[in-house]
Amino acid sequence: MALSESLNFYRRYIRYWLTAVDAHSLHFPFIFRFYVEVIAGKSDNTIYKKINKLRAALANDQRVIQVNDLGAGSRVSNVDQRTIAQIFKSATSDAKLSMLLYRIGKYIGARNILELGTSLGVTTEYLALIESTANIYTIEGSEEIQKVAKDHLNSHNNVVSYLGDIDVLLPQILSQMPFVDLAYIDANHTFEATLEYFKQIMAKRIPSTVIVVGDIHWSDGMEKAWAELKSFDEVTLSLDLFECGLLFFMPAKYKQDYVTRF
């Protein structure tokens, strides 16, 4: 990441830190309960033992693979060949965010889960733990990265992994899904792509659907996309956690928008 980009990123974080609130400022019952139980909630770490071992293994894996990046690129490297450890460091959601996705899925009883951007499949592992009967659909654009992910994801009967361009695959996958109740958009971090993915997924929403958008402060384009997403009439509640943004569609008298601590 260039120096100017790094400075802008830290400025965005400082702005977030100065405006973020906790449970004491959330007065509506649903938002208060969701914050306490899900955002600030704790997970039973014993269920993540296998994933923790996987994270450690990938973080130290020095195998070099060919990367076909169809999105906006890596924060730290734009070379075609990288070690698995480098990919893990730059493109894998941290454990805190992955556990949050697990808690969201548990809270809403997610049954049809969509992940845009499998990467090494670590976050997919958390999604697969939500419910053994839930269906997880995940898309990765790089063949060599997908191979690494499938080495461990193949042990889950509820995960279907797709290889290719999201722009091509997403309409096909959504046509097979009765609805989407949890979606994680963590690929192609551009304004145009993020909005397009959101619109397509939103067409398959139900009242309890939650769409999680990763890296909403990654760039000016992603911040612009986040502002646009919040403005959709169908979005009744948005939560900015800095690392990601949460969008809700449940019936409400008026829109609510919060920046919350995470």
The confidence score (pLDDT) of residue 94 equals 94
The confidence score (pLDDT) of residue 195 equals 98
Give the phi and the psi of residue 248 in degrees, each rounded to 5: -120, 155
Residue from 186, 161, 185 nearest 173 by CA: 161
Query: Model-level pTM?
Result: 0.94
The confidence score (pLDDT) of residue 76 equals 41
Residue from 67, 84, 93, 85 nearest 184 by CA: 93
The confidence score (pLDDT) of residue 44 equals 86
How many CA within 13 A on the CB side of residue 17? 6
Structure tokens at 146: 């997908």
The confidence score (pLDDT) of residue 71 equals 59
Structure tokens at 255: 């829109």
The confidence score (pLDDT) of residue 74 equals 44
Domains by residue range for the chain, with CATH:
3-259 (3.40.50.150)
* Per-residue model confidence as pLDDT tens digits over 68-118: 876 555 444 456 899 999 999 998 999 999 999 999 999 999 999 999 999
The confidence score (pLDDT) of residue 1 equals 57
In the block, which residue shows the tokens 């100065």?
18
Q: Residue 77 in 3-state DSSP?
A: coil
User: Which residues in the chain come in under a pLDDT of 70?
Assistant: 1-3, 70-79
Structure tokens at 139: 């898309």
Structure tokens at 184: 């994680």
Q: Cβ(134)–Cβ(112) under 8 Å?
A: yes
The confidence score (pLDDT) of residue 45 equals 87
Residue from 83, 139, 95, 141 nearest 113 by CA: 139
* Local structure of residue 37 (DSSP, 8 states): I
